[in-house]
């Protein structure tokens, strides 16, 4: 009896192991191509759009192209690198009344769920600005075409809107609106 039980246990373990490994192997690490990728923000100065860009200081993408819901994203931005096109706006954005880049040297986002839909989907996660963390929902769209499950590179665009006041970025509110739109174009390659 023990002999039969042992054979079944060993056989069961051998049969289930490849499936576990296949499931784990489907999620892969991807590296951000910083030379092609960009993060851009739009703020509204007395109703007119102003544009700025910011550098990514760290990015971790774990992607399962066969089951995007199993994927995860972590991105950190460096507010000290923000560029608004002209010096006074750049310095104001970095300053204590807005991003306070000296005291808060990182803006971060960590996904909590990814819900695919067609050639894109929705990403929900925790955005942290100036020590305040809030759950936000953003849109994602593949650039050019939906990659195949075995793809080694692809592009994705993420976009959304946040209320800057919710994060304590409230300076100059008499002429800068609360809405900040953003767009991230990320080009990724398998590690």
Residue 162: name the closest of 177, 148, 147 by CA: 177
- Contact between 153 and 14 (Cβ < 8 Å): no
Is it the case that residue 18 has pLDDT exceeding 50? Answer: no
CA distance 68 to 60: 15
Fold for 28-190, please state it: Lipocalin (2.40.128)
Residue 77: name the closest of 169, 187, 182 by CA: 182
CA distance 30 to 73: 10
What is the predicted pLDDT for the residue at 26?
84
CA 154 vs. chain centroid, Å, equals 15
Which pLDDT tens digit goes with each residue over 110-150?
999 999 998 899 999 999 999 999 999 999 999 998 999 99
β-strand 28-32 against 38-45: which pairing, if any? unpaired
> How sure is the predictor about 1, in pLDDT bands with cuts at 50, 70 and 90?
low
Mean confidence (pLDDT) of the chain: 90
Residue ranges covered by each domain of the chain: 28-190
Structure-token pair, residue 173:
């509110």
Which pLDDT tens digit goes with each residue over 27-77?
999 999 999 999 999 999 999 999 999 999 999 999 999 999 999 999 999
């Amino acid at each position: 009896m023990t002999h039969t039980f042992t054979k079944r246990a060993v056989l069961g373990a051998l049969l289930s192991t490849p499936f576990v490994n296949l499931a784990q192997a489907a999620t892969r690490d991807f590296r951000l191509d910083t030379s092609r990728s960009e993060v851009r923000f739009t703020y509204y100065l007395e109703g007119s759009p102003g544009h700025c860009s910011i550098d990514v200081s760290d990015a971790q993408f774990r992607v399962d192209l066969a089951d995007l819901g199993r994927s995860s994203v972590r991105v950190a931005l460096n507010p000290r690198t923000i560029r608004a096109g002209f010096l006074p706006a750049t310095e104001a954005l970095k300053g204590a009344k807005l991003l306070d880049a000296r005291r808060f040297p990182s803006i971060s986002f960590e996904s909590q769920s990814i819900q695919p839909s067609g050639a894109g989907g929705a990403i929900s996660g925790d955005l942290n600005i100036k020590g305040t963390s809030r759950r936000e929902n953003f849109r994602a769209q593949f650039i050019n075409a939906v990659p195949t499950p075995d793809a080694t590179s692809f592009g994705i665009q993420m976009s959304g809107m946040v209320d800057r006041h919710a994060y304590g970025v409230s300076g100059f509110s008499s002429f800068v609106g609360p809405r900040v739109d953003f767009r991230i174009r990320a080009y990724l390659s398998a590690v």
